[in-house]
Amino acid sequence: MARDKAQREDYTGPVRRLLLTVIILCLGGIFLFWRIDSPRVEQFRARIVDHVMPSFDWAMVPVTGAINLVRDFQSYSRLVEQNRELRSELRQMQAWKEAALQLEQENARLLDLNNVRLDPRLTYITGVVMADSGSPFRQSVLLNVGARDGLVDGWAAMDGIGLVGRVSGVGQETARVILVTDASSAIPAVIQPSGQTALIAGDNTAAPLVDFLEKTELVRPGDRVVSSGDGGVLPAGLLIGQVAADRGGRLRVRLSADLERLEFLRILRHHGTETVTDPGDVVRPNRPPLPASSANE
Amino acid sequence: MNSVSTSQLWSKRALFVGICVVILFFRVLPLNTLPPLWTGPDLLLALTIAWVQRRPEYVPALLIAAVMLFADFLLQRPPGLFALLTVLVCEQLRTGVAGLRDASFAGEWIAAATAIVGVTLLGRAILAMLLVEQAPLGLTVIQMALTILSYPLVVLASHLVFGVRRPNPGADDMAKGRP
């Protein structure tokens, strides 16, 4: 008991108080520095994650796999039922596949007729999802590709069908993808077929809001939402999802990408949209430049 | 009987770091990438507070600061803020521990709940003051409530599994102690 007391006395000593003050000042300083110069601290965060996460990887993959296996096992009990459902779905799919093949051929023919050249620079890198944000308030995932693979902040991440998010924070071996459902995500989009532009703003729910819409009456649930490429960060024409109205009557996007279990993500290489900068010259046949001709006369 | 040898002290500190790393590890597993409708408890905070109230010498302020700062960085939280609040609250609890020594578990739980509410509300207030974008209030409240509710379980686990017990496990402590 006496020893115990002595220890407590020891704890409230001046050295300890000094240490505590230093700790508090340091932590407060880090927080304020983050508030003032967020990009630099976020870069530092990406570096930390880049160092820590790959060393966890050996354990994360099997544990995630095992937990998913257990979850899947629960659904095995309905195996017969599921089998029947899958068969009927497969029949439908075969019909669709036939339709898709015909459309593909038609599309190829039309492209050939029109002499269309698709952007050859729009290639992609595929990454594996290593971790998520770990917090219920942030929607992001960590991929196992990074600056080493030439990733750049702002590139779009797709899951093969629809837009999932964009790269924000690149480490040497890892990169963070902010999902479109995150509260800080806003993606300029255009709604087909009305051509209305809007901002797809995540709000931490499964279906992001359609914001800044000029004429709401032109947009109907079921319309396709694709990225517009405004702002030059994401390429234009990436499928995001379909418009749907929620219970409150607000327009939201039902995402085409399946965010429930992300495993592989495609990062589209995008080197910026070229813009027309010069005002345009008068169209005329090739002649020597004007100053020379005026000097001759 | 209750003397704490140096090796035991440091092994318990290492154990604390180990548990925190395991908790963080399970939180970042990509099991569900849909935005959740509800959240689990913040076990890190509950664990830290439980250990501070039970055995303050196992969790010195520097250790709490380091672990929480690491968690802030890893979990995409504003770095430093929650570490700062946790350290402050834990220091507050630490000075109160002497008086709490003979108190019942209910008293300890109330102190812990106050600390958890304090961390959450102060965090939100500071973020609001500095105009930082915040998580929805509903989720935060759910997390706060679940953290408070999970506190007895964390204490029980610390007591039974990790051997974090009050320094003088006398008969009176046992009688008045945990549920």
| DSSP H or E stretch at residue A169 | strand A163-170
Looking at beta carbons, which residues of chain B come within 8 Å of A139? 33, 35
pLDDT band, residue B118 (cuts 50/70/90): very high
The pLDDT of residue B104 is above 90: no
> Is B1 part of any domain?
no
Residue B149 counted as domain residue = yes
Which pLDDT band holds residue B156 (cuts at 50, 70, 90)?
Answer: very high
pLDDT level of residue B179 (50, 70, 90 thresholds): very low
Does the CA dihedral A228-A179-B86-B108 come out positive or negative?
positive
Please tell me the predicted confidence (pLDDT) of residue B36: 77
State mean pLDDT over A45-71: 85
CA angle B120, B123, B124 (to 5 degrees): 85
Identify the closest residue of chain A to B90 by CA–CA distance.
Answer: A20
CA distance B54 to chain A (A): 13
Q: What is the pLDDT of residue A117?
A: 65
- Average pLDDT of A168-184? 91
**Amino acid A118: pLDDT:** 61
CA distance A163 to chain B (A): 14
- Provide the shortest C-alpha distance from residue A80 to chain B (in Å): 26
- For residues A225-244, give the mean pLDDT: 87
* Residues B36-80 pLDDT 10s: 777 888 899 999 999 998 888 889 999 999 999 999 998 888 899
Asked if residues A136 and B143 have their Cβ atoms less than 8 Å apart, the reply is yes
What residue ranges do the domains of chain A occupy? 8-77, 80-117, 124-268
Distant-in-sequence, close-in-space partners of A248: CB < 8 Å, separation ≥ 6: none
Which tokens is A219 given?
A: 């947009």
Considering CB atoms only, which of A31, A184, A205 is closest to B79? Answer: A31
pLDDT, position B174: 42
Confidence of residue A1 (pLDDT cuts 50, 70, 90): very low
DSSP A88-109: HHHHHHHHHHHHHHHHHHHHHH
Is some CB atom of chain A closer than 8 A to the CB atom of B31?
A: yes
Helices (H), B36-170: 43-54, 61-74, 81-100, 105-129, 137-160
Residues of A within 8 A of B24 (CB-CB) are 134
| Residue of chain B minimizing CA distance to A205 | B35
Tell me the pLDDT tens digit for each residue of A111-149: 877 776 666 666 888 999 988 887 888 889 999 999 998
Mean per-residue pLDDT, A186-204? 90
Is B79–A63 a contact, with Cβ atoms under 8 angstroms apart? no
Would you call A179 and B31 a contact, using CB atoms and an 8 Å cutoff? no
Range of the domain at B172: 6-31+39-176
Q: Which fold has domain A124-268?
A: Thrombin, subunit H (2.40.10)
How many CA atoms are closer than 13 Å to the CA of B19, on its beta-carbon side? 21
Number of domains in chain B: 1
CA distance B168 to chain A (A): 8
In a domain, B15, yes or no: yes
- Chain A residues closer than 8 Å to B143 by CB: 136
If you average pLDDT over residues A208-218, what whole number do you get?
A: 88
Q: Would you say residue A293 has pLDDT above 50?
A: no
> Residue B176: what pLDDT?
41
Tell me the ipTM for this assembly.
0.82
The mean pLDDT value for B116-139 works out to 88
pLDDT per residue over A62-94, tens digit each?
A: 888 888 888 877 777 778 888 888 899 998 998
**Chain B residue with Cα closest to A19:** B62
